[in-house]
Amino acid sequence: MTRARKTVGRITFVGAGPGDPGLLTAHAADAIRAADVLVADPAVPSAITALAGVPARQPESAPAETAKTLLAAARAGQHVVRVVCCDPFADDIAVKEALAVAKTVIPFTVVP
């Protein structure tokens, strides 16, 4: 007897660059548009979060809690996009979140 596998989503960390949606990479804009769940820093301009078809959520107060939120949504089969200002690896909080995600089997990508 074969057990049906549950579809696992993915997490994409996206850098918002200087804040102008016209300056996002095509990969970043596509990821935001495809998001089932969007978690964006408060400093990310609304013009960028408006690209998503879902309302933007605020990150939790602690990186570990935000990582738990991202992972829970991805385990439910959703495409989760975490948008941070500038480059995701230049933001200490985003790095901590990515490290927490990396300890799991959930696939993730980083789009600077």
Strand partners, 57: 39
Task: Report whether pLDDT(15) > 70.
Answer: yes
Cβ neighbours of 85 (radius 10 Å) = 20
Rounded to whole angstroms, the Cα distance separating 90 from 68 reads 21
How confident is the prediction for the chain on average, in pLDDT? Answer: 94
Rounded to whole angstroms, the Cα distance separating 19 from 40 reads 12
> What was the pLDDT predicted at 2?
67
Task: Report whether pLDDT(14) > 70.
Answer: yes
Q: Express each pLDDT in 45-88 by its tens digit.
A: 999 999 999 999 999 999 999 999 999 999 999 999 999 998 99
| Mean predicted confidence (pLDDT) in 89-104 | 95
